[in-house]
Amino acid sequence: MKQKRFLLDESELPRQWYNIQAEMINKPQPLLNPKTKQPVKSEELAHIFALECAKQELDTQHAWIDIPEEVQRRYRYYRSTPLVRAYALEEALGTPAHIYFKNESVNPLGSHKLNSAIPQCYYCKQEGVTNVTTETGAGQWGAALSYAAKTFGLECAVYQVKISMQQKPYRSSIMRTFGATVTGSPSMSTRAGKDIITADPNHPGSLGTAISEAVELATTTPNCKYTLGSVMSHVALHQTVIGLEAEKQMEMAGEYPDAVIACFGGGSNFAGLAFPFMRHQLKGQHAKNIDFIAAEPSSCPKLTKGKFEYDFGDAAGYTPLLPMYTLGHDFKPANIHAGGLRYHGAGVIVSQLLKDGYMRGVDIPQLESFDAGLLFARTEGIIPAPESCHAIAATIREAQKCKETGEEKVLLFCLSGHGLIDMTAYESFLNGDLINI
């Protein structure tokens, strides 16, 4: 019997994050201040974000950035995460492909988001910040941040989209269990919220309203910073622990991937798994050409159908202008269950890499994603997050091509989270109520 799970010893865990910006041949274009149209400086970003995160955001010089000792210590609570060979899925598909997945669902919060919540709270604490704030739609980022903030003794205020708070009540219970204050957005607690409610008392809320409120709270409260769980380059940086571990674990398995696959919302789990492997390509260190595949929902197809242009990162237009593939910051994605993938833009690093042909996007209809998730659950015994189902569906497409050609390709995908708090989505799918939107 060949080995199924691969884990690293504590001594082998990464001590540095990989900053791909430093090694890209075409650097990402600068973020622009929307008023002056000049490149933003880290001091400007630091009005909203922790200063160290603001510096990391714009760092195109250092390929390796030390992970603070304290952050390494907290990573050891749940890292390394297992690299797993999906023998049962391979068998069910009858494919000659070797399928591996990096299981980021096995931490107490259930998704990869914790990998960035920990360093963001650490830097805030170091810099004398006492409060952190954010918005959350689906709730994964809000949950990870609430826990990380509590462990660093920071107060955490989360604005959750009002409608998703009502539809998914346990999400806010999770955040409140970790000690966060959760407010449905739009709320009467901010100027922006009051204006929205005055104009429309029944406004259901959106990520746009929640971002506006969180940013307003951060800019009007002393010692309060705003945090983001995806899209930004410093978040991608923190997530590279995923791929750096996977690199060693694939070596333990005696294999090298032909394809590296992840679902795509704002790009953080994709970047986390892919960038350390893409480094081999950028530096010409490996003869094999890896096919990097980002799987997005058909209903929010910025990679395959978006335009490369300067756009805001949020609906309200508070962020700098970002050079990226986008569907427009006023794009309103359909209400699919993969809440974490309902984002209009692709982030600046991934957008440049896509433009330069290092990777490709594929889009997955909602029903295909749940078909894939169900097959994965029934074979490997893990119920995947609706977001992760997109990566599984893209992997299955590749595995089926291998079946036709007889190629024994090595496919590696990221299981970004489990779906145990998304059972209402599975319930509708099993009842036949889900549609392709």
Ligand X SMILES: *Cc1c(COP(=O)(O)O)cnc(C)c1O
Residue 6 near ligand X by CB under 6 A: no
Minimum Å gap between C-beta 25 and ligand X is 24
In this chain, which of 385, 393, 396, 410 binds ligand X, going by CB under 6 A?
A: 385
Q: Where are the alpha helices (DSSP H) in 221-323?
A: 233-239, 241-252, 268-282, 302-305
SS3 228: coil
In this chain, which of 98, 417, 425, 429 binds ligand X, going by CB under 6 A?
A: 417
In this chain, which of 230, 326, 351, 395 binds ligand X, going by CB under 6 A?
A: 230
Q: Residue 53, class by beta-carbon neighbours within 10 Å (0-12 exposed, 13-18 middle, 19+ buried)?
A: buried
Residue 268 near ligand X by CB under 6 A: yes
Using the structure block, give the residue that is written with the tokens 């237009």: 317
Cβ atoms < 10 Å from Cβ of 340: 29
Give the interface segment with ligand X, choosing from 50-58, 241-249, 265-273, 284-292 (CB under 6 A). 265-273
What number of CA atoms fall less than 13 Å from residue 187's CA on the CB side? 22
Q: Which is nearer to ligand X, 95 or 366 (CB)?
A: 366
Residue 369 near ligand X by CB under 6 A: no
What number of CA atoms fall less than 13 Å from residue 52's CA on the CB side? 17
Residue 113 near ligand X by CB under 6 A: yes
Residue 86 near ligand X by CB under 6 A: no
Give the interface segment with ligand X, choosing from 246-254, 267-275, 394-402, 422-430 (CB under 6 A). 267-275
In this chain, which of 243, 267, 323, 333 binds ligand X, going by CB under 6 A?
A: 267
Residue 361 near ligand X by CB under 6 A: no
Specify whether the CB–CB gap between 371 and 169 falls below 8 A: no
Residue 266 near ligand X by CB under 6 A: yes
Residue 117 near ligand X by CB under 6 A: no
What number of CA atoms fall less than 13 Å from residue 176's CA on the CB side? 11
Minimum Å gap between C-beta 230 and ligand X is 3
In this chain, which of 135, 245, 380, 387 binds ligand X, going by CB under 6 A?
A: 387
Where are the strands (E) in 71-211, listed by range? 83-85, 98-103, 131-136, 155-161, 181-185
Give the Cα separation of 17 and 14 in Å (integer). 7
Where are the strands (E) in 5-153, listed by range? 5-6, 16-18, 64-66, 83-85, 98-103, 131-136
Quote the crossing angle between the two packed helices 207-220 and 191-199, to the nearest 10°.
150
Q: Which is nearer to ligand X, 112 or 125 (CB)?
A: 112
Q: How many residues contact ligand X, by CB under 6 A?
A: 19
Instruction: Produce one character per residue of 272-295: b if its CB has 16 or more CB atoms within 10 Å, e if not.
Output: bbbbbbbbbeeeeeeeeebebbbb
In this chain, which of 19, 80, 111, 319 binds ligand X, going by CB under 6 A?
A: 111
Give the interface segment with ligand X, choosing from 66-74, 216-224, 370-378, 382-390 (CB under 6 A). 382-390
In this chain, which of 122, 152, 264, 277 binds ligand X, going by CB under 6 A?
A: 264
Residues at the site binding ligand X, with contacts judged by CB under 6 A: 111, 113, 140, 230, 263-270, 340-341, 385, 387-388, 416-417
